[in-house]
């Protein structure tokens, strides 16, 4: 009989414990639901505050500012990559409105004055090819600068100018004045150079 009472007492206390746990869980459930409602309310307010003009609707200056903000936020978000010894080089974004894609470089490697950017689009061969096309078709440096600002996949204009200067240091050549395209070599300097070299 005492075994029956003890098991009955045990079941009764277990039942009270389960009821107490159930009421605690219900209270916690209510707290979680209230917290989730507050979070949803706050996020909808912040999203409504940020619902401004799209990237394509703003001017170039604002686009550059937005790109810089995206770049900094992405760098902060990808800090965990350092723990894996991985370095994010760039991110590719696509506009939902114009469907245009853009590549934003993330790593800022130091450049010396004579160094050439090591990214794939700015390799020495690519720069040489661009330089050949610019000189072949008489495209001005100003036009190429504007083009490289629009299409970020092209090598930067300062790299092309730098490469042209590196090549032209071997042979003294001069650009023709503005209405004309091309370059020339001074006849006087060529004759002096030839007479010095030949005995």
Segment 63-122, tens digit of pLDDT: 888 888 888 888 888 888 888 888 888 888 888 888 888 888 887 653 333 333 344 444
- Residue boundaries of the structural domains of the chain: 1-51, 55-105, 120-197
d(CA 113, CA 13): 81
Name the least confident of 40-49, 101-110, 115-124, 127-136.
115-124
| pLDDT of amino acid 122 | 43
**In angstroms, how far is the first alpha carbon of the chain from the final one?**
131
Q: Is the pLDDT of residue 17 over 50?
A: yes
Mean pLDDT score across all residues of the chain: 79
Task: Look up the pTM and report it.
Answer: 0.33
d(CA 80, CA 61): 31
Q: How many CB atoms sit inside 10 A of residue 157's CB?
A: 19
Q: Is the pLDDT of residue 45 over 80?
A: no
- Per DSSP, the chain holds a count of helices (H) and strands (E) of 6, 4
Summarised one tens digit per residue, pLDDT across range 148-169 is: 888 888 888 888 888 888 877 7
Question: Do 127 and 136 meet the contact criterion of CB atoms below 8 Å apart?
Answer: no
């Amino acid at each position: 009989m005492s075994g029956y009472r003890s098991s009955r007492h045990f079941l009764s206390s277990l039942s009270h414990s389960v009821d107490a746990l159930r009421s605690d869980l219900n209270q916690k459930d209510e707290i979680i639901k209230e917290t989730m409602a507050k979070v949803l309310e706050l996020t909808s307010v912040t999203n409504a505050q940020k619902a401004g003009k799209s990237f394509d609707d703003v001017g170039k200056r604002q686009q550059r500012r937005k790109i810089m903000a995206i770049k900094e936020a992405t760098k902060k978000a990808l800090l965990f990559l350092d723990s894996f010894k991985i370095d994010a080089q760039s991110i590719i974004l696509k506009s939902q409105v114009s469907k245009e894609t853009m590549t934003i470089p993330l790593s800022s490697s130091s450049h010396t004055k004579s160094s050439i950017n090591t990214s794939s689009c700015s390799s020495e061969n690519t720069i040489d090819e661009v330089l050949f096309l610019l000189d072949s078709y008489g495209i001005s440096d100003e036009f190429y600068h504007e083009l490289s600002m629009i299409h970020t996949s092209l090598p930067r204009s300062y790299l092309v100018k730098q490469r042209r200067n590196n090549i032209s240091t071997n042979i003294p050549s001069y650009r023709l004045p503005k209405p004309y395209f091309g370059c020339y070599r001074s006849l006087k300097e060529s004759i002096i150079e030839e007479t010095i070299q030949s005995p």
